[in-house]
Chains A and B, each alone.
Chain A
Amino acid sequence: MDKIFRVDMSALNCSVEPVPSAWAALGGRALTSAIVAEEVPPACHALGANNKLVFAPGMLSGTTAVNSGRLSAGAKSPLTGTIKESNAGGTAAQVLARLGVKALIIEGIPKGDGWYGLVVNKMGVRIVEEKELIGKGNFAVIEALEKRLGKTGVLTIGPAGEMKMLAANISVRDADGKLRSHGRGGLGAVMGSKRIKYIALDGADAPAVPLADPAKFTAAARTFAKAIMNHPGTGQGLPTYGTAEMVNIVNAAGGLPTRNFMHGRYEHNEKISGETLRETIIERGGNPSHGCQSGCIIKCSQVFLDKKGKYVTSGLEYETIEILGANAMIGDLDVIAEADHLMDDIGIDSIETAVAIGVAMEGGVLPFGDGQGVLRLLREDLRAGTPLGRTIGSGAGNVGKLYGVTRVPVVKNQAIPAYDPRAIKGIGITYATSTMGADHTAGYAVATNLMGVGGGIVDPLKKDGQVELSRHLQIATVMLDSVGLCLFIGFPSADDPTCVPAVVDMLNARFGLELTPEWFGGLGVTTLKAERAFNLAAGFTNEHDRLPEFFREPLAPNGAVWDFTGEEIDQFWNF
């Protein structure tokens, strides 16, 4: 039976509780948000004793369903002040699910300056003191824990999380001992505030996840995998180019943030494109198509080697490439890959940090295009926590304030990622209204705006249909985030009528339930509303669902402007 594992860091004790019936049919984001909404006072300080850090594997995590091993992390975000759910791949969700952990709730703050690690195994959770790994980067933590405990699942924070930087992330060990991240919203700082350096997840002797109807599960899992492989987005595009496939597409559409969101096209787009990334990786003997967890059949990740054939990084995402490459105008995959590795090791969100660097460049801290300067900033300032490093590590919004910059791409103080909302308006509605602050993954309208995924193109340059599109996608995304599926499953879900019923069949076969596809819609609505209610209670209003003023200026080459009124945006919440 699944259990709730609760760790009280104030008293330094742990307990195992039965799952309350209200949470029984939940997992992933639906569960972390339900727990945070119920147990965290919305007005609390996000780095204080009243905030809680919650981890929940997806509902299908740990099963043989492909691409189902996402882990959700939730808390009140110190970056945005909103509720936060940030999910990541890697191996942790699968181990937690096999250990029967429905959710791991960490509350309180210990007295004193000591640091701790948590070891989770089938007996429960153990709190252990930690000295040796304090100050160490994430890769050193993974290596040391492998020596101590063997190949366990690991959640870890780097120096950024220890210093409670607002952009600090929580890293997850992947299938090859490298990293994936709960990137957004500063959850690494929340873990740091609780003085937990790492959580080791020991799945040794843990049984397989139980299935109520194994035969039905296997049949549905097969249909599901087929739907993924048959869709051109998940069957061909992502496995070939990774998410960097979007560089040339978004550039062509005039929505590629360039020079701190000044232009919509970058003249050196080919230097950082998915096509070039693939060629470079193959030429150097790396792996252009790598899965971050067992059971991944999409393989959007890759292994990037340097010119001498030495490993640099994996999981090099469009966002990181675009924001450093075009928005900070570095235009050099080798520098970007090195920066990605450094950010992973320091444990800082590569989106927030990269956007913050673009704002810092506009503020005159370093010139646009200064790749070596960025590497120095990461190595010497971010890692050591110098005043400049802490400034950058506190996110794009704060950098803008400190350096008097007016072009600061944030919503609810979270950095806008690599799609300019003027030229791709559907994603702009998602940035504005998401309960998480600006987050492209909350309702990825780009695929419908540019490629017509889900039944035809909704013109990215027009306002028509964007609010409805974003609403539909944000509700549907809760399903993916709660079942533990990669965001990309949204593509076959939208285009292949066999996909969502197969997911429902798998859930029913796993838990012995009789859910219908409509149940998902309800789950999405309930979860979004609970998240929104948390934010309202924390002091947010409709006026926070707005994009920064500078998006009213026209964006070359299309001359697109952000022309939604507040009233039009507020229609989003009419459901």
Chain B
Amino acid sequence: MIEVTVNLLATFRTDRFKDELQQVCEGTTVGSLVSALGILEKEVGMALVNGRHAPMAHPLSHGDVLHLAPWIAGG
């Protein structure tokens, strides 16, 4: 198992959480974590691993910080 910090932004927080340290299996990708959270991949507007954009297939490493935001566009 590895530990990753998951930060949810905007409406992704509703009925979930703001930030959480999660234990996940090695080999877990951004996409598999997203679906484990009950979020559809197409709902994700921005996925950042350690502050950088990452594709859904990106495998997570121990200590990674993941930010997930829905499609909002800006101000």
Contact = CB atoms under 8 A, between A and B. Distances in A.
Interface stretch (B24-32, B33-41, B67-75): B67-75
A452 B72 CA distance: 10
Contacts of B74: 233, 243, 245-246, 249, 444, 446-447, 450-451, 453, 488, 491
A459 B46 contact: no
Given A254-B51, A452-B45, A248 B9 contact: yes
B75 A245 contact: yes
A242 B73 contact: no
Contact of A241 (B10, B51, B53): B10
A237 B69 CA distance: 11
Interface string A450-483: 1111000101110000000000000000000000
Which of A236, A242, A318 has its CB near the most chain B CB atoms (within 10 A)? Answer: A236
Given A237-B10, A240-B10, A252-B7, A318 B75 contact: yes
Contacts of A300: 75
Given A274-B10, A459-B53, A558-B52, A249 B71 contact: no
B13 interface: yes
Interface residues of A, number: 41
B52 A249 contact: no
Nearest to B72: A237
A249 B53 contact: no
Contact of A232 (B13, B53, B67, B71): B71
A317 B10 CA distance: 16
A293 B7 CA distance: 35
A169 interface: no
A488 B75 CA distance: 8
Given A240-B11, A248-B10, A275-B10, A231 B73 contact: yes
B48 interface: yes
Contacts of B72: 232-233, 236-238, 241, 245, 249, 451
Contacts, number: 94
A318 B74 CA distance: 9
Nearest to B71: A232
A451 B45 contact: yes
B57 to A, nearest CB: 15
Nearest to B18: A270
Contacts of B52: 461, 558
A120 B48 CA distance: 52
Given A240-B10, A457-B53, A558-B51, A232 B73 contact: yes
B8 to A, nearest CB: 10
A446 to B, nearest CB: 5
Contacts of A420: none
A495 B46 CA distance: 16
B45 A232 contact: yes
A253 interface: yes
A182 B34 CA distance: 42
Interface of A: 231-234, 236-238, 240-246, 248-249, 252-254, 270, 274-275, 300, 317-319, 444, 446-447, 450-453, 457, 459-461, 488, 491, 557-558
